[in-house]
Amino acid sequence: MKKIYAIFDCDNCYCSCERVFRPDLNGKPVVVLSNNDGCVVARSKEAKAAGIPAGLPYFQLREKFPNLDVGVFSSNYELYGDLTARVMDIIRDACPYFYRYSIDEAFCELSRMNIKDLKKWGEDLHKKILQWTGIPVSIGIAETKTLAKCADRYAKDYPGYHHCCVIDTDEKREKALKGFPVKEVWGIGRRYLERLERDDIHTAWDFTQVGRSWVHSAFNIVAVRTWEELQGIDCIPTEEMTARKSICTSRSFPGMTDDFTTLRTHVSNYAARCAEKLRRQHSVCSLVTVFIDTNHFRQDLPQYGNGSSKSFLTPVNSTQEIVSGALECVQKIFRTGYKYKRAGVIVSCIDKESPVQTDFFDYDASRREKLKRLTAAVDNINKVNGSETIVLGSQQYTRKEGKGKAGSFRDAIKHDFRSPNYTTRWQDILTVK
């Protein structure tokens, strides 16, 4: 039986989330910035129309668009995570064959659902999601995921589709692909585009007209799958919701630092975040990697970057063990005389939490059991009272000025335009003006 896939994609996700609580910004350009208010990571339709490019550094936004009335927000992942979870719940409810692909996208498999009118089904669901959450989504429906992504593009760009576009015949497929730039195809990136353009391939349809072996020799097996999907051959597997195979937490700092204690504190915090993410997916890891880097944009300063790993014979997921492993690593690679801009922690070689494969020489099972109970208790306190209610000593930033308390992780990132966490923190709701 032929399959039918739908892709659901929140329109300009982060901007739409901010607008839910700021309806005064509807119809106006809105942008959301990366951590430290570094550069533009999301743009509303109006912001795109005004010519603001993706990835524009914030300071250049001010230089290049001095007179543009644009709503600017620091990223607020707590808010986006909560609102998109509500959107996903509605979609999952409408279709049980559901796979969440990213924070703002989900695939559904509709073939087994006996939907008579796919277009109406999609349009109705769009309306429901908008009404219940305030978030607009676009829906593309076709026989392969890649074609569904094309349909989704049409649904987004042309109001006539009423947010849902269906490609379900060969005629529609041909027409859609002939009007579709090949660079917009899911799976075709910048490097592939260069190669395609050399051979005068500009539309998705042009791409379908070359031979399979040409695609394989010019690129690789992944590109062949994309090529087949555009022909209507379903060949990109729907991955099960598997646990992540690696987890990374990294940040650029608001300024630069040459101070080991500060760097060490950053690394502690990132390692602690990795440990939390690991436990949330009920996993353990047996490798912790730390990397540090200077500022590549400052060619006038000496550059240095390095990484180091620590492996565990018995896989771990406690904050204590992961942090102490990470600190060993950073100790090894830190060099004085450099100004560091970025650091990160990666946990990998991930496995299911239980049963843990214990090391033959691991005599200290009772210690591990105690650590597990302690970690669970701390997680619970942080869940109830807000994250960072309890942290390790090494996660505390030292405050030089005054004799007050140590600074928190939150203070370490610049976000001057952060919206309140309207939906998840009552403290914030009370302070909404």
Partner DNA sequence: TCTGGGGTCCTAGGACCC
Using CB under 7 A, list all residues that contact DNA: 34-36, 38-39, 41, 55, 57-59, 101-105, 149, 185-193, 220-222, 239, 244-252, 254-256, 277, 295, 297, 342, 344, 346
Q: Which is nearer to DNA, 125 or 188 (CB)?
A: 188
Q: Which is nearer to DNA, 27 or 81 (CB)?
A: 81
d(C-alpha 406, C-alpha 382), whole Å? 18
d(C-alpha 391, C-alpha 319), whole Å? 9
Question: Minimum distance from CB of 366 to DNA (Å)?
Answer: 31
d(C-alpha 4, C-alpha 430), whole Å? 46
Q: Which is nearer to DNA, 23 or 189 (CB)?
A: 189
Measured CA to CA in angstroms, residue 6 lies from 55, 157, 160, 167, 168 at distances of: 29, 17, 19, 10, 12
Q: Which is nearer to DNA, 237 or 355 (CB)?
A: 237
Question: Minimum distance from CB of 172 to DNA (Å)?
Answer: 21
Q: Which is nearer to DNA, 117 or 194 (CB)?
A: 194
Instruction: Judge contact between 188 and 196, C-beta under 8 A.
Output: yes
d(C-alpha 209, C-alpha 328), whole Å? 55
Question: Minimum distance from CB of 249 to DNA (Å)?
Answer: 4
Instruction: Judge contact between 346 and 289, C-beta under 8 A.
Output: yes
| Partner residues linked to 8 by β-bridges | 106, 139
Scored b (16 or more CB within 10 A) or e, 63-72 reads: eebeebebbb
Strands 283-294 and 305-316, bridge-based pairing: antiparallel
Question: Minimum distance from CB of 202 to DNA (Å)?
Answer: 15
d(C-alpha 176, C-alpha 159), whole Å? 16
Structure tokens at 30: 């809105």
Name the DSSP letter for residue 252. E
Question: Minimum distance from CB of 297 to DNA (Å)?
Answer: 4
Structure tokens at 214: 């040409």
Q: Which is nearer to DNA, 113 or 231 (CB)?
A: 231
Give Cβ neighbours of residue 22 (< 8 Å, ≥ 6 apart).
71, 419
Query: Residue 123's Cα: distance from chain center in Å?
Result: 27
Question: Minimum distance from CB of 104 to DNA (Å)?
Answer: 5
Q: Which is nearer to DNA, 299 or 366 (CB)?
A: 299
Question: Minimum distance from CB of 63 to DNA (Å)?
Answer: 9
Question: Minimum distance from CB of 75 to DNA (Å)?
Answer: 8
Q: Where are the beta strands (DSSP E) in 197-335?
A: 247-257, 283-294, 305-316
Question: Minimum distance from CB of 111 to DNA (Å)?
Answer: 22
d(C-alpha 424, C-alpha 392), whole Å? 25
Instruction: Judge contact between 230 and 204, C-beta under 8 A.
Output: yes
Q: Which is nearer to DNA, 107 or 161 (CB)?
A: 107
Q: Which is nearer to DNA, 369 or 416 (CB)?
A: 416
Question: Minimum distance from CB of 223 to DNA (Å)?
Answer: 8
Q: Tell whether the torsion through CA atoms of 16, 21, 25 and 30 is positive or negative.
A: negative
| Partner residues linked to 407 by β-bridges | 397
Measured CA to CA in angstroms, residue 357 lies from 275, 286, 287, 310 at distances of: 18, 11, 14, 18
Q: Which is nearer to DNA, 178 or 244 (CB)?
A: 244
Q: Which is nearer to DNA, 113 or 287 (CB)?
A: 287
Structure tokens at 398: 């030292």
Measured CA to CA in angstroms, residue 209 lies from 144, 187, 301, 317, 378 at distances of: 18, 17, 51, 50, 59
Question: Minimum distance from CB of 330 to DNA (Å)?
Answer: 16
Query: Residue 134's Cα: distance from chain center in Å?
Result: 21
Query: Residue 75's Cα: distance from chain center in Å?
Result: 12
